[in-house]
């Protein structure tokens, strides 16, 4: 097992401090954006209302297409069963 040198330990600490500094800056920036949106009167919920409505519409369409696909499968299965039954009757 290789032991880390003192320089490597110092560099790791240095990079850790840089990462913490970047994370803190991002948090401050997010706070600035949130406060600016509140100052404009935007509650932040209006985009999610639109996304939620679009998701409901897409889910409803998906369910309708699934029902249609099941009905088509049932019809195709019935037609296939009828054709096989007619073929058996014709060969006997």
Token representation of residue 44: 């932040």
User: Is the CB of residue 37 less than 8 Å from the CB of residue 44?
Assistant: yes
pTM over 0.75: no
pLDDT digits (tens, 9 = 90+) for 4-54: 677 777 777 888 889 999 999 999 999 999 898 888 875 555 667 888 888
Token representation of residue 79: 């037609």
Radius of gyration of the chain (CA): 32
């Amino acid at each position: 097992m290789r032991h880390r040198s003192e320089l490597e330990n110092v560099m790791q600490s240095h990079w850790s401090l840089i990462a913490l500094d970047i994370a803190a800056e991002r948090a401050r920036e997010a706070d600035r954006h949130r406060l600016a949106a509140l100052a404009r009167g935007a509650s932040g919920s209006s985009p999610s209302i639109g996304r939620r409505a679009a998701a409901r519409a897409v889910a409803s369409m998906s369910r309708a297409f699934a029902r249609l696909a099941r009905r088509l499968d049932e019809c195709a299965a019935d037609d296939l069963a009828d054709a096989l039954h007619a073929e058996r009757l014709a060969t006997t």
